[in-house]
Amino acid sequence: MSKVDLNRSVRESNDAVAARNRQAFAAHGVFAMNIIGSPGCGKTSILEYTARHFNGRFAAVIGDVKTALDAERIADCGIAAHAIETGGGCHLNAAQVADAIAEMDLDAVDFLFIENVGNLVCPSAFDLGENIKVAVLSIPEGDEKVRKYPALFVRADALFINKVDLAEHCPYDLERVKADARHVRPGIRVFETSATHGTGFDPWFDFLRSVSPA
């Protein structure tokens, strides 16, 4: 019997492609965000509201298990949107994003939203080459999500708590969620928003302006 030592990370091939994506973003002055949250938490609405505020220089890559509905919704706002239909896949990988950005004019883009498949688990484990990971939670999901899905929040740079307009209708301990997130990820930026009503976005816009490569 002979033993072949490998000591190789299973995500090595994905990480190599992610590194190339990251280089492409840097070379073209693109700030890329990997948006991760449950189905229906408001990822697309946050993207729409943000893109309208900045009026152009935005592009989106949108992953869905089936249909290009979200990408069509974004394109209706006048934003360049590329749909990735994962056909059952529960997360985006770096190669899918590489294919998508190969078809884009990155020089015309300052901010790239990569909307991951609606899921709080595996999207967090796959680097896409983004500058930051953004977790999105919403009030109706309940206030124990950080505790239940810590792997995402350990890696997230920013957290949206969306649908705050529904707080009065749902038992939700906002302070607990923020404390939980800061426990697993000290320094995480938290934005409390209602994308439907457009409230709470100013700190987010200030943040984006502060990181804008343009």
Partner 1 sequence: MHELALCQDIVRTALDAVEVRSSAVVSIALEVGALSSVNMEALEFCMRIVLDQEGLPHTRVEMTPVPARARCGCGAEYEPEDVFGPCPECEGFDREFIGGTDLTIRHVEVADEQS
Binding site for partner 1 (CB under 8 A): 1-11, 13, 89-91, 121-122, 124-125, 147, 150-151, 154, 180, 182-184, 186
Q: Which is nearer to partner 1, 7 or 55 (CB)?
A: 7
3-state class of 39 per DSSP? coil
Query: Is 214 exposed, middle or buried (CB count within 10 Å of its CB: 0-12, 13-18, 19+)?
Result: exposed
Q: CA–CA separation, 77 vs 193, rounded Å?
A: 20
Q: Which is nearer to partner 1, 111 or 153 (CB)?
A: 153
**CB distance 7 to 85 below 8 Å:** no
Q: Which is nearer to partner 1, 106 or 174 (CB)?
A: 174
Q: Which is nearer to partner 1, 154 or 214 (CB)?
A: 154
Q: CA–CA separation, 36 vs 206, rounded Å?
A: 21
Shortest approach of partner 1 to residue 116 CB, angstroms?
A: 12
Shortest approach of partner 1 to residue 4 CB, angstroms?
A: 5
Residue with tokens 């189905």: 39
Shortest approach of partner 1 to residue 37 CB, angstroms?
A: 15
Q: Which is nearer to partner 1, 150 or 200 (CB)?
A: 150
Tokens of 202: 């100013």
Shortest approach of partner 1 to residue 114 CB, angstroms?
A: 17
Phi-psi region of 97 (alpha: psi -120 to 50; beta: other; left: phi over 0): alpha
Shortest approach of partner 1 to residue 205 CB, angstroms?
A: 28
